[in-house]
Amino acid sequence: MDTIAVLIPCYNEAKTIGKVVADFKKALPEAVIYVYDNNSTDGTDEIAQKNGAIVRYEHQQGKGAVIRSMFREIDAKCYLMIDGDDTYPAQNAKDMVDAVLNKGMDMVVGDRLSSTYFTENKRLFHNSGNKVVRGLINFLFKNNIRDIMTGYRAFSYLFVKTFPVLSQGFEIETEMTIHALDKRMRVENVVVDYRDRPEGSQSKLNTISDGFKVLKTIFRLFKNYRPMMFFGIIAVILLLLAIGFFIPVLIEYIQTGLVPKFPTLIVSGFAALAAIISYFSGLILNVLKAQNLQNFEIILNYFQNEYMKKTDQ
C-alpha cells in the first residue's frame, strides 16, 4: 500500500504533463505518481513516463471511467487527484495530504473559487456556471462546500473504496461531493491558487453540454439522495394545482348549487391523487434510503478493517 498516491487522469496533455509530474514529485517526494492515459494521441504517456510517473491506461473514454479504474486498482493511505493541465499549483499538496493523513479528513476540496479562479479563468460562462452549481448543491444538501467542480482533491482510503463511480464525464466531481455530504464524511476546504491553461493547451470541457450534464447529475442525485424532499416538493406543487382548479368549482357550486365545470373538477381530483402518490413515494423511498445508509455503515466498517490489516503489514 502506498502512503500517498498522486492520481493524474490525462487525455492529450502532452504540453503540460511533464511539468505537472515534475512539480508534484518535488512537492511530495514520498508519493507515487500515477498517470492514467485515456486514449491520448499526442504522446502524453511517453512524456509522463520519462518524467518518472507510473503510466497506466484506461481505454473507455471519459473522466469517470478513468477515476473508476484508479480507485479500483490503487491502494493508498491518501490519494491526491490532480488534473494534468497545469492549472493547479503543487504548493498546496502538502496541506491537502496532511488533512487526510493527520486530521482524519475523508475528502479535501481544493477551493479555487475563493482565490484566483474568477480572474484567471477566461472561458465563457464557466465563472457563473460554477457559482450556480455551488449554490444549488449547498442549498439542496445544506452544506458549505466552496468549490464543487474542482479537479484538485485529496481522499482517504475509506472514501475511495466506498465511492460508487456512476458518472462517465466531468460531472464526476459533483457526484463525489454529493456522496461525501450524504454519507456524512469529513470534508475540508483548502484554498488553492488557480492559473489558466497555458497557451496552446485545450480544455476538454464543453461549457454547454457538460454544464447540462452536471445539472442533470445534480437533479438525479437530489432525487436519489433526498427522496422525501424531492417528491415532497412535487406533492406540494400538485396539491396547489389541485386547489387552484378546485376553488372556482367550489365557489360556483356554493353560489348556484351546480357543477358546470365538471372536467375541471376531474382534473383537480387527479392532481390531488397524484400529490398523495408523490408524497407516499417519497416516504417509501426515504425508508429505503435509511436502510441504504445502514448498509453503508456496515460496508464502511468492513473497509476500515481491511485498511487496518493492510497498514499493519
Of the listed ranges 2-11, 67-76, 197-206, the least confidently predicted one is 197-206
Is there a single domain that holds both residue 296 and residue 147? no
At 171, is the secondary structure helix, strand, or coil? coil
Which of 167, 197, 225 terminates a domain? The answer is 225
Mode of pairing for the β-strands spanning 107-111 and 153-156: antiparallel
Q: How many domains does the chain have?
A: 2
Mean pLDDT calculated for residue range 56-78: 93
Question: Is 217 exposed, middle or buried, given 0-12, 13-18 or 19+ CB atoms closer than 10 A?
Answer: buried
pLDDT in tens, 145-155: 888 888 899 99
Asked whether the CA dihedral 52, 56, 57, 61 is positive or negative, the reply is negative
Question: Is 126 exposed, middle or buried, given 0-12, 13-18 or 19+ CB atoms closer than 10 A?
Answer: middle
pLDDT in tens, 111-168: 888 876 655 555 555 556 667 777 888 788 878 788 888 889 999 999 999 999 888 7
pLDDT in tens, 68-94: 999 999 999 999 999 998 888 899 999
Is there a single domain that holds both residue 272 and residue 306? yes
Is there a single domain that holds both residue 204 and residue 231? no
Which of 197, 225, 253 terminates a domain? The answer is 225
Calculate the dihedral angle through the C-alpha atoms of 227, 233, 238, 242, rounding to the nearest 10 degrees: 130
Which of 204, 225, 246 terminates a domain? The answer is 225
Is there a single domain that holds both residue 14 and residue 71? yes
Phi and psi for 188 in degrees, rounded to 5?
Answer: -135, 145
* Domain housing 93: 2-225
Residue 8: which pLDDT band, with cuts at 50, 70 and 90? Answer: very high
Of the listed ranges 22-26, 132-136, 265-269, the least confidently predicted one is 132-136
Beta-carbon contacts of 305 under 8 Å, excluding residues fewer than 6 positions away, are: none
Phi and psi for 155 in degrees, rounded to 5?
Answer: -135, 155
Is there a single domain that holds both residue 153 and residue 187? yes
Which H helix or E strand runs over 279? helix 262-312
Is there a single domain that holds both residue 245 and residue 190? no
Mean pLDDT calculated for residue range 227-238: 95
Is there a single domain that holds both residue 157 and residue 198? yes
Residue 12's nearest CA partner among 36, 49, 42, 35 is 42
